[in-house]
Amino acid sequence: MVQKRKINWKSVLSYVAFVGPALLFFLVIQIIPFLMGVYYSFTSWNGVSSVVEWVGFENYKRIFTNDPVFFNSFVFTTKFMVAAVFFSNLIGFGFALLLNSALKTRNLLRTIYFIPNVIGGLLLGFIWQFIFVRGFSSIGNLTGLSFFQQPWLGDEKTAFWGLVIVFAWQISGYMMVIYIAALQGLDTNILEAAKIDGASNFRILINIIIPLILPAFTICFFLTISMAFKIFDLNISLTGGGPFNSTQSVAINIYQEAFQNNRYGLGTAKSIIFFLAVAIFTTIQVWSTKKREVEA
């Protein structure tokens, strides 16, 4: 006869004690609001009234057929994501290579480069707004350099690059820490063997170091893509979406639709579309970089 396996209630209770609270908070804070958001995206609720009218796919039809502002904000956010991801990882990886060497001040420099990441986006935006408007103007008047005399936050192109600069300045220190951890995990015997064989530093970097730390690139690309897509506090404090909505991110557009225009159902529908777009982008990115890891 098959003996019944006794349930170890002590282990079950210990699992419930440790996992239960985290699972409960995840359900309450993440899963339930998400499901409610999916429901409200099919309604015309204004976010205040107790009356919730079901409208089906009308919100989605309106977004795709009669909402050019949302489309423009999505195009801007995508372009910003590409530029921000490139420069954030380039700067972060460059700092990691520099500070992984035997510098006496490398620990101090690591701390200095990481500090911008701990500053809140709203505060950081107001600080850089002062730098762009007052600081650059003063430097331009003193030096006569046209670079500093541009209307950095008053023109569409310069405002875009201003956002990219501030985002990269904030996030690159965080990426640097991840890259440094990956570089420190490399087998030094492989690098020394390559040097003995006459490989240049550039060849070692391209053919050995980068392929071996591709998992770090996967993580950093995923983080920067999701952060750049969801930019809100830095955007709203630095440019406010201006001039003339030219730097309006999707997050700001959703916020204004739901909480300023009191079209919560339409704003929620936009957030669902935005969620699917970010999920698709990040899934493709992780899949492609993971595939390269296997090949490497």
- The confidence score (pLDDT) of residue 4 equals 59
Domain 59-295: CATH superfamily, name plus number: MetI-like (1.10.3720.10)
Return all residues near 293 (Cβ < 8 A) that are at least 6 apart. Answer: 214, 215, 218
* Residue 294 confidence (pLDDT) above 60: no
- The confidence score (pLDDT) of residue 80 equals 94
User: Helix or strand or coil: residue 232?
Assistant: coil
Label residue 87 by pLDDT band (50, 70, 90): very high
| pLDDT single digits (tens) 168-193 | 999 999 999 999 999 888 888 888 88
* Residue 1 confidence (pLDDT) above 50: no
Label residue 92 by pLDDT band (50, 70, 90): very high
Match 């820490």 to its residue by tokens: 177
Label residue 3 by pLDDT band (50, 70, 90): low
| pLDDT single digits (tens) 242-268 | 888 888 999 999 999 988 888 999 999
| pLDDT single digits (tens) 192-232 | 888 888 888 888 888 888 888 889 999 999 999 999 998 99
Label residue 42 by pLDDT band (50, 70, 90): very high
* Residue 136 confidence (pLDDT) above 60: yes
- The confidence score (pLDDT) of residue 5 equals 64
Find, among 113, 121, 78, the residue nearest to 97 by Cα: 113
Q: What is the DSSP string of 97-153?
A: HHHTS--TTHHHHHHHHHGGGGS-HHHHHHHHHHIIIIIHHHHHHHH--TTTSS-TT
Asked whether the beta carbons of 238 and 152 are under 8 A apart, the reply is no
Give the residue-averaged pLDDT of 46-51: 82
